[in-house]
Structure 1
Amino acid sequence: MDLDAYVLAHAHEWERLEKLTRKRRLTGAESDELVERYQQVATHLSVVRTSAPDASLIAHLSSLLARARNRAAGTRVSTWHGLAGFFVHRFPAALYRLRWWWLGTLAANVAVTAVMMLWLLDHPNVEQSMLSPAEIDQLVNHDFEGYYSEYAAGHFAAQVWINNAWVSALCLAMGVLGFPVVIALFRNIANLAVIGSIMTRHHQGGHFWGLILPHGLLELTAVFVAGGVGLRLFWSWVEPGELTRGQSLAREGRTAGTVALGLVAVLFVSGLIEAFVTPSPLPTWARIGIGVLAESCFLAYVFVVGRSAYNRGHTGDLDAALLEDRVATQS
């Protein structure tokens, strides 16, 4: 390839991209042009690297692309449009694409919880080995219900939100190792099974579920989503498919980041329900109904909005314009 001729043919496109990166404010049309020019110049850089590697030209184009990428990212992230795009396209598409992982995690945990509760109900000696009669009486008659009204609702909502966001973040962060996610999920459901069996044995099962279900449906679903996505992250390097292990892990890692950010909002909603609805004087059927409604809205969000976004080509990964400058070479 004649490098001088190639530079002459495309110099005006590089100059135009540089002008766009230097403008203080971009119109909507200019923002779209910035992304289009970015993709063109990324292709030019790929051609130069492959056919006529020139160190100074490669450095110039790489620097230009870095500025354009930062400007495109800054333009998008700073707008409400970018935030809306995250919750309309990227986050629901990630949930839908990975649905079998977190639905499987949810089903497995529900089944294990049910088995544990039934087993504990058939083995009262286990309960007696963990707590004294006085401690059981305190839990059944005071502590369990008091937990939801001990603090002011606003403070409690913040506390619950931070705690659950932290648990979900741990599942995602430890996902690359696989087994720690299983341990974290088991500890979570074991605590639920033990308390549930104690409350049921002492004829407080209806009260237990009346306090757990309003917020627990959405809250535990969010935790199981984090666990399932974490396990998918582990599997991405065990079985990378057509990608290299590094590429597969990077893609699922970026998607896990998308899910982590989105779950902050989901857990915020469940925290509000736990703080304001669960301890409220509303009848049990109304409180559970609110929990069922919140869970139904989440599932509709995944299987309606998420499926639509996924069918339009969204996967939950970052936009191509925000990734590395790896563009297929065009002749």
Structure 2
Amino acid sequence: MDVDAYTDAHRAEWDRLEALLRGRGRWSADEADEALDLYRRTATHLSVVRSSSPDPALVSRLSSLVARGRSAVLGTTPWSWGVVRRFVVEEFPAALAASARWWVPTAVLSVLLMVVVGWWIAASPDVAAAIATPEETRRLVDEEFASYYSSNPAASFAARVWTNNALVAATCLISGVLVLPVLWVLAQNVVNVGISAGILTANDRLGLFLGLITPHGLLELTAVFVAAGAGLKLGWSWIDPGPLTRARSLARQARITVGIALGLVGVLLVSGIIEAFVTPSGLPTWARIGIGVVAELLFLAYVLHGRRVLRTRAEVLDAGA
């Protein structure tokens, strides 16, 4: 099903229902009947959209309309945690799975670049010397790298890390339509990690690097890769819109991108908590790394769940065809 064509076909009904709900309490008998009819139609539309595409923004709008309509015409409460649960259990993982063909290659290429940069610096004393003076290297290796994670109270550090990482992810998502800014932000982050890895490795501190980066870095970098991949997909939807107009293609992908952005807020919150409370903790290195690996495996399992959601939706559509 073409979700954009379906949206165009029914947008007037949704807008009319929204207008009626704003005037709730002043309905005539005819308007009350119209609101009931539009509520039933919109509930059907929501079921169709939910079964056809990982479009969290559109699903969110229709869910809100249906909930408000139910409250107005049937007298039930307009808010339901079911909307949040559905987003977490179905819409976000489905959007992650649907966009995996963009963010997985982005992750693979970024990690390769990171390894190459780190290896180059570790194996080339001249390059390392050009990046940092001996005194700067000493401070990084002996003091700054480790102290960074424990220099502030854990709660405030978690908030700062969350805000900073969310800003990086948002930059990748928002600037995706221009493509090049996404690549620039991604390259900066990847190269900076590679430089730190190379300098510490050259000074026999690779274990320190892995022990402090791995706990939170696996999930944090994955979130950045997802944001970058979604941003690039947004840009590509304008460059190659397929059978749609550029405006419709961009609008369709933008709705999906908004849902991914909302979901990544939660992912980055988890990585920020790990970075603030686990990374600088007194736990053994193996335990800290283990927590990071478990968090990453849970995320990947979440994406695989999203694939199952998409497969189920496709089967429903095939059965109804």
What TM-score does the superposition give when structure 2 sets the normalisation length?
A: 0.77
- Give the Å deviation of 1:35: 3.7
Please tell me whether residue 22 in structure 1 is matched to residue 24 in structure 2.
yes
Number of the residue aligned with 1:322: none
- Give the Å deviation of 1:69: 8.9
Q: Comparing 68-77 with 185-194, which one deviates more in the overlay? A: 68-77
Q: Residue 211 of structure 1 aligns to which amino acid in structure 2?
A: L
What TM-score does the superposition give when structure 1 sets the normalisation length?
A: 0.75
SS in 2 for 1:147: helix
Show structure 2 runs of 5+ residues with no match.
1-15, 27-34, 46-61, 71-77, 315-321
Please tell me whether residue 96 in structure 1 is matched to residue 75 in structure 2.
no
Number of the residue aligned with 1:185: 186
- Give the Å deviation of 1:91: 0.8
Number of the residue aligned with 1:262: 263
- Give the Å deviation of 1:40: 8.6
Number of the residue aligned with 1:321: none
- Give the Å deviation of 1:70: 6.8
Please tell me whether residue 72 in structure 1 is matched to residue 74 in structure 2.
no
Number of the residue aligned with 1:36: 40
> Are the aligned partners of 1:88 and 1:309 in contact in 2 as well (CA < 8 Å)?
no
Number of the residue aligned with 2:290: 289
Task: Give the Cα separation in 1 of the matches to 2:44 and 2:153.
Answer: 56
Change (3 A) 1:18 1:288: same
- Give the Å deviation of 1:267: 0.2
- Give the Å deviation of 1:100: 1.1
SS in 2 for 1:292: helix
SS in 1 for 2:150: coil
Task: Give the Cα separation in 2 of the matches to 1:188 and 1:132.
Answer: 21
Number of the residue aligned with 1:236: 237
Change (3 A) 1:120 1:32: farther
Show structure 1 runs of 5+ residues with no match.
1-13, 25-30, 42-67, 315-331
Task: Give the Cα separation in 2 of the matches to 1:268 and 1:209.
Answer: 21
Task: Give the Cα separation in 2 of the matches to 1:75 and 1:281.
Answer: 53
Provide the aligned length of Structure 1 versus Structure 2: 268
Change (3 A) 1:130 1:20: closer
SS in 1 for 2:149: coil
- Give the Å deviation of 1:38: 3.8
Q: Percent identity?
A: 47
> Are the aligned partners of 2:234 and 2:257 in contact in 1 as well (CA < 8 Å)?
yes
Task: Give the Cα separation in 2 of the matches to 1:212 and 1:166.
Answer: 19
Q: Which has the higher contact order (CA 8 A, sep 6+)?
A: 1
> Cα RMSD (Å) of the superposition?
2.9
